[in-house]
Amino acid sequence: MNLPIHVALIGYGMAGQIFHAPVIQAVPGLRLVTIQSRQRERVRSDWPEVWVSQTFEEVIENPHIDLVVIATPNDTHYELARRALEAGKHVVVDKPFTLNLLEAQTLARLAQERGKLLSVFQNRRWDGDFLALRRILEAGTLGEVVYFESHFDRFRPEVQNRWREQEGPGSGIWYDLGPHLADQALLLFGWPQALFADIGMQRQGAQAPDYFHVLLRYPRLRVVLHASALVPGGSPRFVVHGTRASLVAYGLDGQEKALKEGRQPGKPDWRAEGGEAWLYRPDQAPELVSLEPGDYRRYYEAVRDAIRGQGPNPVPPEQAVRLMMLIEAGLKSAELRREISLEEM
Residue ranges of domains in the chain: 5-121+299-311, 124-294
207-241 pLDDT per residue, tens: 999 999 999 999 999 999 999 999 999 999 999 99
The CATH classification number of 124-294 equals 3.30.360.10
- For 162-192, b where at least 16 C-beta lie within 10 A, e where not — what string? ebbbeeeebbbbbbbbbbbbbbbbbbbeeeb
Distance CA 25, CA 33 (A): 10
193-214 pLDDT per residue, tens: 999 999 999 999 999 999 999 9
What is the average per-residue pLDDT within 243-266? Answer: 94
At the fourth CATH level, the homologous superfamily of domain 5-121+299-311 is NAD(P)-binding Rossmann-like Domain (3.40.50.720)
- pTM tops 0.85: yes
Residue 326 binned pLDDT confidence (cut-offs 50, 70, 90): very high
Q: Which three-class secondary structure string do you get for 268-319? A: CCCCCCCCEEEEECCCCCCEEECCCCCCCHHHHHHHHHHHCCCCCCCCCHHH
What is the pLDDT at residue 274?
Answer: 83
What is the pLDDT at residue 270?
Answer: 86
